[in-house]
Amino acid sequence: MTISAQQVKELREKTGSGLLECKTALQEANGNVDDAAIILRKKGKATAEKRSGRSTIEGRVSSYIHTGGRVGVLIEVNCETDFVANTDEFQELVRDLGMQVAAAAPSAPRWVRREDVPKDALDKERDILTSQAEASGKPANVIEKIVEGRLAKFYSENVLLEQAFIKNPDQTVEELLNSRIAVLKENIQVRRFVRFERGEAL
């Protein structure tokens, strides 16, 4: 079937994927943009998983200073080769990730991935959520589900890769990363970040 330029443009804005990838996904989805977005996200995840074992020693350390100088971010994003590190696509990704970290509190992330959340911080959060759920008087099995659901929300608010991407809330940061891995054909990892806010307690 014929795929219009408008359909490709809409899908690119929705997923951040490359022109050819969008056109192929739209053909596979018979022109349905939402179905094509799902196809691209699955392919992006599969590509990311395939490349996850590759060494990432190149990349960029970049800064993002929010307008007015109130918030600043230093972020390191790694890739496999210097060639990809110097592409406009990679540098735009690093800037977008810096902007994501600079997002207004309390939505500013604290960790890169859920495995980075310290055990004591997770235990403390679980205790608080359990106490809140127990106050409802619901049975233990229901309380456990409530706590797990609220922990998922805790991760989505505090873990960078699980946050909704500020430029496209229909996409998580991890999905954004996977879409760039699919386009740039290299493993890409967010290694670390530091966020500074003027006047915050030391």
Judge contact between 26 and 11, C-beta under 8 A: yes
Write out pLDDT tens, residues 145-188. 998 999 999 999 999 999 999 998 888 999 999 989 988 989 99
Q: Are 74 and 44 in a shared domain? A: no
Same domain flag for 171 and 95? yes
Q: Are 164 and 171 in contact (CB under 8 A)?
A: yes
Q: Give the domain range for residue 125.
A: 118-157
* Mean pLDDT score across all residues of the chain: 87
Clarify whether residues 138 and 40 are in a common domain. Answer: no
Do 31 and 47 fall within a single domain? Answer: yes
User: In whole angstroms, how large is the CA radius of gyration of the chain?
Assistant: 19
Backbone angles phi, psi at 155, to 5 degrees: -65, -45
In 3D space, the residue among 31, 30, 22, 56 whose CA is nearest the CA of residue 183 turns out to be 22
**What is residue 111's DSSP assignment?**
B
Considering 33, 51, 69, which residue would you say is the last residue of a domain? 51
Total structural domains in the chain? Answer: 3
CATH number for the domain spanning 129: value is: 1.10.286
As given in the structure block, the two tokens for residue 38 are 């799902």
Q: Is residue 15 part of a domain?
A: yes
Token reading at 188: 């890409």
